[in-house]
Amino acid sequence: ILNVEQSPQSLHVQEGDSTNFTCSFPSSNFYALHWYRWETAKSPEALFVMTLNGDEKKKGRISATLNTKEGYSYLYIKGSQPEDSATYLCAFGSNTGKLIFGQGTTLQVKP
Amino acid sequence: NAGVTQTPKFRILKIGQSMTLQCTQDMNHNYMYWYRQDPGMGLKLIYYSVGAGITDKGEVPNGYNVSRSTTEDFPLRLELAAPSQTSVYFCASSYRQGNSNQPQHFGDGTRLSIL
């Protein structure tokens, strides 16, 4: 059974703080690593899809890195804002087209 | 484009009742998925489909059935509702996904309670 682990489970930061969280995944049979942002009462929205070792993606203040050899990805948020409060999901993709999701990291940014 | 549309948004069922959760997408996506989300558990795949006429089981298929007669629609059927099926259900779709390199697009979810 493939396991995708995210840490921490939850995080509280002050507005303006920078933060990061981790996604660990199997290093074998890797095809893609997805990050999704999930706001309360909404549906998950794709942030990044990364496929190559060493990939770095950026969208505004949010960026992500990928290490497929050791099986981890980091998501960074620079200068957190209250609107960044959400659950961030990562998902491991193999060659089947299916994704295995982690349990998510819930971020709360206090003004 | 409406994207992925799920109906209903909320439903309460009695134990043993049946119902169908509807999902339709207007993006001409080949792949469609049904997930359930339980507190602290992330998203678990129930069933998925790689195209019309083709469906396959995910991690947690017991108690559910699906069909895919058209590209657009992917309904999820609960035949004999049980309290363990109380959950939030999400439908998603993506463009052809052989290497998992396409983002999934999610519906707004259906909150289902079995009492």
User: Which residues of chain A form beta strands (DSSP E)?
Assistant: 5-7, 10-14, 19-24, 32-38, 45-50, 56-59, 62-67, 72-77, 86-93, 99-101, 105-110
Burial call B38-65: b when 16+ CB within 10 Å, e when fewer:
eeeebbbbbbbbbebeebeebbbbeebe
Q: Do β-strands B43-51 and B54-57 pair in parallel, antiparallel, or remain unpaired?
A: antiparallel
Q: DSSP states of A71-93 as a string?
A: TEEEEEESS--GGG-EEEEEEEE
B chain contacts of residue A89, beta-carbon cutoff 8 Å: 42-43
B chain contacts of residue A51, beta-carbon cutoff 8 Å: 99, 101
Confidence check: pLDDT of B40 > 80 = no
For B45-80, how does the pLDDT look when each residue is reduced to its tens digit (9 = 90+)? 999 999 999 999 999 999 999 999 999 999 999 989
B104–A104 CB contact, under 8 Å: no
How confident is chain A (111 residues) per 10-residue block, as mean pLDDT? 88 96 91 94 93 94 96 97 96 86 95 92
Instruction: Specify which residues A56 forms β-bridges with.
Output: A65
A103–B41 CB contact, under 8 Å: yes
